Amino acid sequence: MYRWEITRAALAQRVFAIVRSATYDEASATADTLLSAGITSLEISLTTPFALEAVTTLTRELGDDAVIGAGTVLDAVSARMAVDAGARFLVSPSLDAEVIRTAHRYGVPVFAGVSTPNEIVRGLELGADALKLFPATGRHPSWISDVRAALPQAPLLPTGGVTVEAAPEWIAAGAVAVGMGSALSEGDRETVAKRAADLLVRLADAVPEQPGGERTMDLYGD
């Protein structure tokens, strides 16, 4: 798959799950719960012990049924290791040119971290496939609307502090997708399944309509 195809698949549900755990077993259990709940895109944070092993296992077992990425990728070395482990996309809390360059060399998209308009423009210049607004905590979804009035070409992914209640507001304001961690994954399997099903419907309904009456889809449209 090309980078744009992977990006579109990773963000198709307008949410990607973030798995950050204290142990490998806990991360595996969380990922299994989310995938069983119908979430098809998730990142394993490299702060999780044996995170790359988890990425390899999930990618091998799931194939094209889900898009598995690596998160908290801070440098070129980590980027290359994540790509070698089978990560389909990389997510970073910061904007690092070497992470983007390394991943792109191997056809892997990068969702780079930004927090200001200046960083958004720099991320676009560096060729980031999407821009992770981090942290979203303390910001209102209207921030996205204000920024996109001047930078409508910026594909923004609010992450960090995004709640189930607020997630549709971010999409309605113009975000391409949202990244969610424990707000999405906490609870037993039944609770997570119900939460995920409800959220996916609300996110789809929140997508703004274009002047012609069609809803915008994702970064590259249909």
- Residues involved in catalysis: 43, 132
Q: Which of 58, 60, 52, 54 is closest to 85 using CA atoms?
A: 52
Prior bond to 152 cis, omega within 30? no
CA atoms within 13 A on the CB side of 166: 18
Q: Which two tokens stand for residue 108?
A: 């892997």
How far apart are alpha carbons 131 and 202 in whole angstroms? 22
Under a CB-based contact definition with an 8 Å cutoff, are residues 15 and 178 in contact? Answer: yes
How far apart are alpha carbons 124 and 55 in whole angstroms? 27
How far apart are alpha carbons 78 and 92 in whole angstroms? 11
